[in-house]
């Protein structure tokens, strides 16, 4: 019961852009933490990578919807990033790369989603 009340209150208080910003922040923090754990901590690493991959997959699915009102070029870029995230996540798990590119991408997206200074006040 209280969880549903929280969800309702959060929906009323946040814009979709703010929700996306918050979600990217949570996922990016998980990636940053996973990048610091020992490589033998597979669970932490997989959980963070999977969460990030699911976020980007959801965005790509939304962008592939013909009813999506975003510019077609932006939609294509988001889908391309999603494909990169999937490939790069696999490379990380094989020990062929690190988390930095994924963290940097998410941080750049967060910068674009961040409210303008006048809005933040």
pLDDT for 9 beyond 90: no
pLDDT for 74 beyond 80: yes
Mean of per-residue pLDDT scores for the chain? 91
pTM of the model: 0.84
Contacts of 72-79 spanning 24+ positions with Cβ under 8 A:
none
CA distance 11 to 4: 11
Q: How does pLDDT run across 17-72, given as a tens digit for each residue?
A: 999 999 999 999 999 999 999 999 999 999 999 999 999 999 999 999 999 999 99
- Confidence (pLDDT) at 5: 58
């Amino acid at each position: 019961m209280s969880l549903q009340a929280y969800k309702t209150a959060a929906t009323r208080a946040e814009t979709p852009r703010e929700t996306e910003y918050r979600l990217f922040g949570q996922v990016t923090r998980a990636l940053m933490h996973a990048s610091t754990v020992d490589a033998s901590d597979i669970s932490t690493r997989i959980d963070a990578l999977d969460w990030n991959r699911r976020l980007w997959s959801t965005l790509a699915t939304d962008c592939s919807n013909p009813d999506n009102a975003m510019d077609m070029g932006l939609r294509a870029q988001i889908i391309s990033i999603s494909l990169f995230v999937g490939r790069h996540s696999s490379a990380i798990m094989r020990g062929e790369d690190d988390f930095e590119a994924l963290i940097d991408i998410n941080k750049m997206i967060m910068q674009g989603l961040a409210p303008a200074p006048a809005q933040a006040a």
